[in-house]
Amino acid sequence: MNSTKTQAPQRQRNLELIVPGMGSDHCAGIINKTIGRLDGIDQIETNIAKHKVSVRSLASGPDGEALKHAVEGAGYDVPP
């Protein structure tokens, strides 16, 4: 008998950060790389004009505070 196990899809969450100091492709790249190093990150989008970072992560991945801490660790302010 041939049976296949399928895993239930993991829940995801969408988070957004405003990063006023992200004003160039270079800055966006640093933030993208910084967040991308965290476990559980599925997708990162940056919008330089709006200074916005949108992140999709697994529900078990980093929360908003962890993302904020990582971005601040890269040298960028993230307002509350």
Query: Is residue 5, in this structure, part of any structural domain at all?
Result: no
Determine the pLDDT at residue 80: 87
**Percent of the chain, pLDDT > 70?**
89
Query: Is residue 80, in this structure, part of any structural domain at all?
Result: no
Are 39 and 61 in contact by the 8 Å Cβ rule? The answer is: yes
Write the burial class of residue 51 (CB in 10 Å: 0-12 exposed, 13-18 middle, 19+ buried): middle
CATH number at residue 61: 3.30.70.100
Quote the domain boundaries for residue 50.
12-73
Determine the pLDDT at residue 5: 52
Residue 8: is its pLDDT beyond 60? no
Query: Is residue 26, in this structure, part of any structural domain at all?
Result: yes
Domain count of the fold of the chain: 1
Residue 60 is given by DSSP the state T
pTM of the model: 0.84
pLDDT digits (tens, 9 = 90+) for 42-71: 999 999 999 999 999 999 999 999 999 999
Query: Is residue 61, in this structure, part of any structural domain at all?
Result: yes
